[in-house]
């Protein structure tokens, strides 16, 4: 375990190499929060409820979006693509360390720093713009949220790992990866609640893995998804995790067989 802890520790330190860049990134996130807050304030003008959300629920969704994006979407599988395409992965494969464990440690480091940063950004935003927040009345909602969030983090890691594994077969995976991430962000509710979209799209995204990443955990927290619908959502998450875990394993094994160590 100490080697994975060393990877984790070094990855955290790497985040702070360029401190000015790190702090500018934080400022950028605060700007995004301000944009969404201003837009939804304008939309909510003269009304207390919209799309089934109260004002406090909607603003909590926006802030929750920022934190969950940092936790779910922060990952280092871009580096996996780079390491495969340049042959650098060869050195990791020869070391007495599981490459998947190495990736997980690196990811955990990135998620830890991004999560702490996102919470601080939200605190600063709250201090600047005094947003009304919603907190779940029942502890069960909080527990359900933690469960759904953990599954969402696992699901995104596996999906991202599968897409990154395409680098074994092509050096042109950056473009498709960019398209995949953008589509995922929109269809998971990372820019706006999916309730805005036509009902048919919400249904499709809910059954597919997309809404499981952000929209579902956030709505569990807001107590808008409870009871049988909660367990249905958990079931959908587990199904897609199982599918992508199988796919990631298959792709990884096939990829290693076909790997040519170009550049390595």
Partner 1 sequence: MAFLMQFTNRWSSLGWLSGKFVRLGFFVLFVFSIFRHVPSVAGYSLEGVAIFFLTFSLVDNVSQIFIRGIYMVGRDIREGDMDFYLIQPVNPLFRVCSNLVDFLDFLVLFPILGLIAWIFPRILGHLSAAQLAVNVSLYIALCLNGLVIAFAVHVLIASLTVRTQQMEETMWMYRDLVSLGRFPVDIYAPFLRTLLTFVFPIAVMVSYPSKALLGLLSPEKIILAFVLSGLFLAAALALWKNSLRHYSSVSS
Q: Give the residue among 147, 216, 151, 213 at the shortest CA–CA distance from 183.
A: 213
CB of 24 to partner 1, least distance (A): 4
170 binds partner 1 (CB under 8 A): yes
Task: Give the count of beta carbons closer than 10 Å to the beta carbon of residue 82.
Answer: 15
200 binds partner 1 (CB under 8 A): no
Instruction: Please identify which residue in 43, 93, 100, 133 interacts with partner 1, judged by CB under 8 A.
Output: 43
Q: Give the residue among 94, 89, 221 at the shortest CA–CA distance from 152.
A: 221
Q: How far apart are CA 104 and CA 7, in angstroms?
A: 10
For residue 53, what are the β-bridge partners? 50
41 binds partner 1 (CB under 8 A): yes
Dihedral sign for Cα atoms in the order 119, 185, 79, 242: positive
Closer CB to partner 1, 46 or 96, in the complex: 46
Instruction: Please identify which residue in 78, 82, 99, 191 interacts with partner 1, judged by CB under 8 A.
Output: 191
Please tell me the number of Cα atoms within 13 Å of 159 on its side-chain side.
24
Show the tokens assigned to 54.
């109260």
208 binds partner 1 (CB under 8 A): no
Closer CB to partner 1, 144 or 209, in the complex: 209
Instruction: Please identify which residue in 42, 94, 137, 200 interacts with partner 1, judged by CB under 8 A.
Output: 42
204 binds partner 1 (CB under 8 A): no
CA 164 to chain centre: 15
Q: Exposed, middle or buried: residue 115 (CB in 10 Å: 0-12, 13-18, 19+)?
A: middle
The count of residues interacting with partner 1 (CB under 8 A) is 37
Which residues in the 2-31 window bind partner 1 by CB under 8 A?
18, 20-21, 24-25, 27-28, 31
Binding residues for partner 1, per CB under 8 A?
18, 20-21, 24-25, 27-28, 31-32, 34-35, 38-39, 41-43, 45, 50-51, 170, 172-179, 181-183, 186, 191-192, 196-198
């Amino acid at each position: 375990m100490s080697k994975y802890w060393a990877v984790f520790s070094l990855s955290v330190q790497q985040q702070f190499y360029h401190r000015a860049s790190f702090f500018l990134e934080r400022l950028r996130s605060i700007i995004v929060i301000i944009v969404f807050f201003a837009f939804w304030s304008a939309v909510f003008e003269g009304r207390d409820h919209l799309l089934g959300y109260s004002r406090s629920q909607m603003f909590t969704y926006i802030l929750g979006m920022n934190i969950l994006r940092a936790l779910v979407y922060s990952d280092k599988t871009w580096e996996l693509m780079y390491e495969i395409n340049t042959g650098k992965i060869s050195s990791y494969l020869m070391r007495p360390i599981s490459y998947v464990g190495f990736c997980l440690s690196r990811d955990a480091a990135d998620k830890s720093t991004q999560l702490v940063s996102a919470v601080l950004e939200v605190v600063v935003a709250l201090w600047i713009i005094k947003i009304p927040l919603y907190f779940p009345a029942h502890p069960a909602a909080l527990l359900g949220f933690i469960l759904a969030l953990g599954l969402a983090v696992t699901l995104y890691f596996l999906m991202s790992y599968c897409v990154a594994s395409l680098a074994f077969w092509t050096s042109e995976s950056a473009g498709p990866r960019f398209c995949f991430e953008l589509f995922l962000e929109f269809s998971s509710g990372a820019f706006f609640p999916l309730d805005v979209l036509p009902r048919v799209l919400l249904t499709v995204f809910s059954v597919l893995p997309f809404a499981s990443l952000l929209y579902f955990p956030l709505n569990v927290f807001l107590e808008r998804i409870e009871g049988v619908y909660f367990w249905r959502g958990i079931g959908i998450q587990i199904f897609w995790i199982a599918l992508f875990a199988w796919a990631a394993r298959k792709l990884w094994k096939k990829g290693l067989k076909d790997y040519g160590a170009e550049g390595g």
